[in-house]
Amino acid sequence: MSSRKPSNSRQQADEVTSSVATTAVTEQEASDLLTAEELHAEHEQRKEDQKGRIEATDRELLLHLLYQMVLIRRFEEKAAEAYSLGKIGGFCHLYIGQEAVAVGAISAIRPDDYVITSYRDHGHALAKGMSAEEIMAELYGKAGGCSAGKGGSMHLFDASVNFLGGHAIVGGQIPLATGIAFATKYRNEDKVTLCFFGEAAVNQGSFNESLNMAQLWKLPCVYICENNQYGMGTSLARAMSLQDIARKACAYGMASEFVDGMDVLAVREATLRAVERARTESLPTLLEVRTYRYMGHSMSDPGNYRTRAEIERYQQRDPIKLLSASMREKGLLDDETMKQIEQRVHEEIERAVRFAEESPLPAPEELYTDVYANPIKS
Ligand SMILES: Cc1ncc(C[n+]2csc(CCOP(=O)(O)OP(=O)(O)O)c2C)c(N)n1
Ligand SMILES: [Mg+2]
């Protein structure tokens, strides 16, 4: 197993400062499998790490983080079901397995801060406060959706909660985030921008251009790379010469951290540090958050490029299981409370599906609205 497995973000942050040659993950390392005993030992170690963080966190907040992760997981399971029934068309990229990243990071900002992300956006939209109803209706292509049914899964958007998309061009949101952070600074607004993107976007020129500018102009932006180790069917090891993404920040003189993306509290803490740097010093940060997606790249991906054993290995590190197990061991969660969380989530999802089913399709004349800011009159 790779020595870079994300069991402790502090330790990993230290490792980031060690040499490139010793920290890069090889394809061999990435495909190594742990034995059942090793997996169990790793899970126990992670729980110990997380329990230390739990002691410093308010129980209401812990329950809120757990609720949000369960909500995103069940929302997407329902979306997958609706997609299979033909109720959702077009592209649909699920976030299952990565919930701790959006939930942990967004819990570290204020409602008036901005979030922007890629097409794998359902989790971020929910965590930023968009309703499950308007998101599900958007997936269904209905008029009640957040983008009036014309954006679909990849183009969720709600300016009222400062969620600025949902972007389908890989790496396209990174310069947009830099621009948003520039605008807030220019207007003297005390706002931070969180920009989420996949690790494949790091190979795009827009990443380099944006981070260079953000550091040069001291912009309050947190760049959060969700390293789920695949860009469609291509593993990180086959596509990136230097796979230690956090280290790339040194090319811009920017602060960075490597974070365990399966531990929602580790993500929250690293983001809190980055947000503090953005607010008090107006400086950007690059976070490399190591995570894993359990499902295919999109609903049409059969996933032939990885083994079931590899997926199961990561499912052992499940962020929801980890938080609930740690909370139980600390006496902060019991069966009854967990049942209530699942029940509340179930009701919220049922309401969302009902809303989406009952919402009308967009009227045909809507084809001509929202195309140009100043429509040309015929
Ligand atoms: C500029 C551009 N090139 C290629 C694509 C096709 N494409 C869509 S998703 C994707 C992989 C991106 O992977 P990553 O950034 O790691 O995000 P993940 O899907 O893993 O969340 C590619 C190549 C695209 N949408 N935009
Ligand atoms: Mg990826």
Summarised one tens digit per residue, pLDDT across range 334-343 is 999 999 999 9
Question: What's the pLDDT score for residue 378?
Answer: 63
List, in sequence order, every beta strand (DSSP E) within 46-138.
114-118
Q: Is residue 133 within 8 Å of 122, Cβ to Cβ?
A: no
- Binding site membership of 168 for ligand 1 (Cβ less than 6 Å): yes
Average pLDDT score over residue span 127-137: 98
Please report whether residue 374 resides in a domain. no
Q: Is residue 243 within 8 Å of 24, Cβ to Cβ?
A: yes
- Binding site membership of 123 for ligand 1 (Cβ less than 6 Å): no
Q: Say how many domains are in the chain.
A: 1
Percent above pLDDT 70 for the chain? 91
What is the CA(185)–ligand 2 centre distance, in A?
Answer: 30
What is the CA(335)–ligand 2 centre distance, in A?
Answer: 35
Residue 229 has pLDDT above 50, yes or no: yes
Ligand 1 atom with the smallest distance to the CA of 204 is 1
- Binding site membership of 227 for ligand 1 (Cβ less than 6 Å): no
Question: What backbone phi and psi angles, to 5 degrees, belong to 276?
Answer: -60, -45
Please report whether residue 378 resides in a domain. no
User: Which token pair is 107?
Assistant: 């819990």
Residue 369 has pLDDT above 70, yes or no: yes
Ligand 1 atom with the smallest distance to the CA of 226 is 21
Ligand 1 atom with the smallest distance to the CA of 298 is 19
Question: What's the pLDDT score for residue 38?
Answer: 78
Neighbours of 325 (CB within 10 A): 18
Question: What's the pLDDT score for residue 372?
Answer: 85
Of the spans 3-17, 294-308, 362-376, which averages the highest pLDDT? 294-308
Residue 66 has pLDDT above 50, yes or no: yes
What is the CA(106)–ligand 1 centre distance, in A?
Answer: 22
Range of the domain at 124: 35-359
- Binding site membership of 296 for ligand 1 (Cβ less than 6 Å): no
Question: What's the pLDDT score for residue 374?
Answer: 80
Residue with token string 């102009």: 217
339 CB burial (10 A radius; 0-12, 13-18, 19+): exposed
Residue nearest to atom 2 of ligand 1 (CA): 170
Question: What's the pLDDT score for residue 357?
Answer: 98
CATH number, residue 181: 3.40.50.970
- Binding site membership of 169 for ligand 1 (Cβ less than 6 Å): yes
Give dist(CA 259, CA 225) in Å, integer: 10
- Binding site membership of 167 for ligand 1 (Cβ less than 6 Å): no
Please report whether residue 77 resides in a domain. yes
Please report whether residue 103 resides in a domain. yes
List the beta bridge partners of residue 115.
163, 194
Average pLDDT score over residue span 33-38: 71
Residue of 155, 173, 176, 232 best suited for mutating to test ligand 1, as the one with most atoms within 8 Å of CB: 232
Average pLDDT score over residue span 281-303: 96
Q: Which residues contact 50 (CB under 8 A, 6 or more apart)?
A: 263, 265, 266, 322, 323, 326
N-term to C-term CA, the chain? 65
Please report whether residue 44 resides in a domain. yes
Question: What's the pLDDT score for residue 83?
Answer: 97
- Binding site membership of 261 for ligand 1 (Cβ less than 6 Å): no
Model confidence at 33, pLDDT cuts 50, 70, 90, reads low
CA triple 192-197-198, angle to 5 deg: 155
Please report whether residue 11 resides in a domain. no
Taking the CA of 298 as reference, the closest ligand is 1
- Binding site membership of 230 for ligand 1 (Cβ less than 6 Å): yes
Question: What's the pLDDT score for residue 34?
Answer: 66
Average pLDDT score over residue span 148-159: 97
Please report whether residue 131 resides in a domain. yes
- Binding site membership of 121 for ligand 1 (Cβ less than 6 Å): no
Residue 252 has pLDDT above 50, yes or no: yes
* Of the candidates 78, 141, 76, 66, the residue with the CA atom closest to the CA atom of residue 350: 78
Position with higher pLDDT, 48 vs 220: 220
- Binding site membership of 120 for ligand 1 (Cβ less than 6 Å): yes
Q: What is the pTM of this model?
A: 0.91
Residue 305 has pLDDT above 90, yes or no: yes
Average pLDDT score over residue span 13-30: 36
Please report whether residue 366 resides in a domain. no
Question: What's the pLDDT score for residue 24?
Answer: 37
